[in-house]
């Protein structure tokens, strides 16, 4: 006789369904125009289930952002993920920058639309703080990558780890990805190649 799913798995699937519904509605309608009631209806759950699971619409957006950036629900820091360890361990500076661009492309392919939602909603003070925190987290990752480049003796004159991280933050950010891929029709692969080349020309 068939058995039902374990309670924890049911809860995980319901949570993911609400996140998926929120992602679709936020990107289609925007942060302000999307209501919790619409998210609940799209996810086929009660409104109270959304509130019980996430607390507020803002907290739902934060979890959605965290999950789309990470690519999964695992609470693993970016620098502890295999792709980031590969970046840090790359012996060749140009290869390191290529790996940084590849990692950024994979993240932005799944998260650029949600990042756009957050950036567009910064009139809300709590969302503005969420955006600032995201920028700060991205800079902190790029700073560790830049320090790895500096340790290899790879940074060109005039650059230190801080300025190299600033440049990587700009080149590999959702702003450049959105402009070139979303608005100008570049493929993600073309953006990745451009980003790796730009970083190498600026930093090495």
The residue extents of the domains of the chain are 7-55, 76-203
Distance CA 91, CA 19 (A): 39
For the chain, the helix, strand and coil percentages under 3-state DSSP, each to the nearest 5? 75, 0, 25
What is the per-residue pLDDT for 187? 98
State the chain's mean pLDDT as an integer: 94
- Reply yes or no on whether the pLDDT at 1 is more than 60: no
Q: State the first-to-last Cα distance of the chain, in angstroms, to the nearest integer.
A: 64
At 2, the pLDDT band (50, 70, 90 cuts) reads very low
- Reduced to 3 states (helix: H, G, I; strand: E, B; else coil), residue 124 is coil
What is the per-residue pLDDT for 124? 94
Of the CA atoms within 13 Å of residue 192, those in its CB half-sphere come to 16
The predicted-structure confidence for 122-131, as pLDDT tens digits, reads as follows 999 999 999 9
The predicted-structure confidence for 91-110, as pLDDT tens digits, reads as follows 999 999 999 999 999 999 99
What backbone torsions phi and psi does residue 32 show, to the nearest 5 degrees?
-70, -40
Give me the CATH topology for the region 7-55.
Arc Repressor Mutant, subunit A (1.10.10)
For 56, residues 6+ apart whose C-beta sits below 8 A from its C-beta are: none
Long-range contacts of 86-94 (CB under 8 A, 24+ apart): 87/145, 87/148, 88/144, 88/145, 88/148, 90/148, 91/152, 93/149, 93/152, 93/154, 93/200, 93/204, 94/200, 94/204
Tell me the average pLDDT across 108-120. Answer: 95
At 3, the pLDDT band (50, 70, 90 cuts) reads low
At 6, the pLDDT band (50, 70, 90 cuts) reads confident
* Dihedral sign of CA atoms 119, 120, 125, 127 in order: negative
The predicted-structure confidence for 24-76, as pLDDT tens digits, reads as follows 999 999 999 999 999 999 999 999 999 999 999 999 999 999 999 988 778 88
* Number of other residues whose CB lies within 10 A of the CB of residue 37: 11
Give me the CATH topology for the region 76-203.
Tetracycline Repressor; domain 2 (1.10.357)
């Amino acid at each position: 006789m068939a058995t039902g799913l374990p309670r924890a798995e049911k809860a995980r699937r319901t949570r993911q369904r609400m996140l998926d519904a929120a992602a679709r509605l936020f990107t289609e309608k925007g942060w302000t125009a999307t209501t919790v009631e619409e998210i609940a209806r799209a996810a086929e759950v009660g409104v109270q289930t959304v509130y019980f699971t996430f607390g507020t619409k803002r907290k739902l957006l934060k979890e959605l952002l965290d999950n789309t950036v990470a690519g999964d629900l695992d609470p693993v820091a970016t620098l502890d993920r295999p792709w980031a360890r590969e970046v840090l361990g790359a012996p060749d500076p140009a290869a390191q920058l290529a790996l940084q661009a590849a990692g950024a492309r994979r993240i932005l392919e799944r998260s650029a639309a949600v990042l756009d939602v957050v950036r567009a909603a910064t009139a809300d003070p709590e969302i503005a703080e969420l955006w600032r925190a995201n920028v700060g987290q991205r800079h902190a990752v790029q700073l560790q990558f830049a320090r790895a480049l500096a340790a290899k003796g790879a940074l060109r004159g005039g650059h230190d780890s801080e300025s190299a991280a600033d440049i990587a933050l700009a080149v590999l950010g959702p702003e450049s990805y959105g402009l070139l891929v979303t608005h100008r029709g570049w493929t993600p692969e073309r953006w990745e190649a451009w980003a790796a080349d730009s970083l190498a020309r600026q930093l090495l």
